[in-house]
Amino acid sequence: MSTSFTLDTSTSRANPTPAPMKRLTVPAIRARKVDGVTAEPVVMLTAYTARQAQLLDPHCDMLLVGDSLGQVIYGLPSTIPVTLDMMANHAAAVVRGSYHSVVVVDMPFGSYEASPEAAFDAAAMLLKASNAAAVKLEGGEAMAETVAFLVKRGIPVVGHVGLTPQAVNVLGGYGARGRSDAEADKIVSDAKALCDAGAFAIVVEGVVEPIAIAVTEAVSCITIGIGASARCDGQVLVTEDMLGMFERVPRFVKRYEDMAGLISRTAETYAAEVRERSFPGPEQTYQPK
């Protein structure tokens, strides 16, 4: 039995309660794709906090604790400075706030590239500290040995090809990948290598659509698109981007709401009521009996 959180205004905002529901598993996600076809696409969003996980969990199959939290939560210029401790703490919060989705946690830059053994130590730390179900790492064929090493030792892995944000300094920016034949071939071969190594899913980010389709058709594991194609086996977005929390987002993001505007307008109303002393009112104050 997993643990969820419910609101209890009489005590505190989050109280752990048992949830009588089994969480989705890695094999269940992997089994969505049969003979190259995924009848029910995999729904994935990022989550960084327990409350965010609560709200997203009923609608998702997977929750990704992405290293994008470096920019979204901490205001860092990129994902490069993100640490293992940051990832572990946020992943633990997301696990506590969910009961249905498979929780995947990003391995931050520098935690897995040196060797398969170093990657195992870092991945084991993340899963033990958070109780997440799987880790995600960036890189293609060069990471295949590491993926195989982790999977053979009981750690489920999600791969990541195409635009890999941790390699932004090498790539020279966040532009779409796969525009040249050589780069397109490399993305497909990278995906094949990760799948053959045992990755149960692969994020395909920021690639021209025909390449995303080619990757999806070339591998037996699940592909999860972000700036890729609707023909991938699933989709993921940074939740804050799709909610309209930021003015500047990648062109592949669809804004489903204007939460930034709502928050700003609500804060403006609150500020006005404070300044005119209409808040707090009788309903928000305690009177003598």
For the beta carbon of residue 126, count every other beta carbon within 10 angstroms.
26
Residue 117 corresponds to which amino acid? Answer: E
> Which is catalytic among the residues 113, 117, 141, 205?
205
Distances (CA, A) of 57 to 24, 46, 60, 155: 11, 10, 5, 22
Length of the chain: 289
Query: How remote is the C-alpha of 244 from its chain's centroid?
Result: 17
List of residues 6+ apart from 253 with CB closer than 8 A: 237, 238, 241, 242
| 145 catalytic per annotation | no
Q: Is the peptide bond before 280 cis (omega within 30 degrees of 0)?
A: yes
Cα dihedral: 113, 80, 167, 177 (round 10)? 130
As a whole number of angstroms, the distance between CA 195 and CA 201 comes to 8
Distances 245 to 18, 241, 263 between C-alpha atoms, Å = 32, 6, 9
Give the per-residue SS3 of 103-143. Answer: EEEECCCCCCCCCHHHHHHHHHHHHHHHCCCEEECCECHHH
Tell me if 138 is assigned to a ligand binding site: yes
Residue 111 assigned as binding residue: no
Find out whether 68 is annotated in a ligand binding site: yes
Bridging pattern class, strands 15-19 and 2-6: antiparallel
Per the annotation, where are the binding residues for Mg(2+)? Answer: 67, 106, 138
Residues belonging to the active site: 205
Specify binding-site residues for 3-methyl-2-oxobutanoate: 67-68, 106, 136
